[in-house]
Amino acid sequence: MTADSGLGEELVGVFARVSGMLLTEATVATALSTVTSLAADALAGTAGSGISLLDADGRRITSAATDPLVEQLDDLQYELDEGPCLTAWRERTVLHSDGRDEQRWPAWTPRAHQFGMRSFLSAPLINRDSALGAIKVYSTAVNAFDERDADLLRRFAEQAAIFVGNVQTVRAAEHISDQLKKTLRSRDLVAMARGIVMARRGIDPDEAFRELAAESHRTGQLVSEVAARIVASPADA
């Protein structure tokens, strides 16, 4: 068996587990924790793994980590605005460092060494044209990762990016669905309120809507809010 075929089989096994997890509709937090655990298992010599993403407020966060030390190292990157994970994310490239004479992150690297970490490997999560974040692994050994590990993490990141992108798509769809429901409800409320005003005032639809608009302007409320109040108390319309 060649190294490439062995790598392919390893990936098949890893992502078969991910597929099974997704089919159970696991929570996002649990899913990302599973992804980081799989990454740590797949790369020998890994002391910890994590995934960095943006939160709802646009802040960089570690969404999942296999060890508290990973979170500490990531927090240092976010604080110092430098480090292998952020560089891989920004430059959209797999970032490999063996920890010796590393000059790219002058503030972060010495701190990472204080925690005992010597080797770093990061790969960006790219979905379509968007860089969603990065997945990374750390090791206490010097020169712990080779090109095979870099290729494995890159392939892993590609699949993880699809998963994260799908999660974001679902969230966006849910948001659109909620907005649509709200819009349709507002439209129905306005139609009901207009009907109530028409019946009470003996006026046509256009005149009824103008009354709703005038009440909206007078009270500073949205037309839908005026409509909701009328529908709730039709006798007062």
| pLDDT at site 196 | 87
Residue ranges in the chain whose pLDDT is less than 50: 1, 21-25, 172-173, 175-177, 180
Cα 143–Cα 138–Cα 110 angle in degrees, nearest 5 = 80
Q: Which of 50, 171, 179 is nearest to 122 (CA)?
A: 50
| pLDDT at site 87 | 94
| pLDDT at site 172 | 47
Cβ burial of 139 (10 Å; 0-12, 13-18, 19+) is buried
Alpha carbons 27 and 64: distance in angstroms, whole number: 12
CA distances from 16 to 23, 96, 159 (A): 11, 27, 11
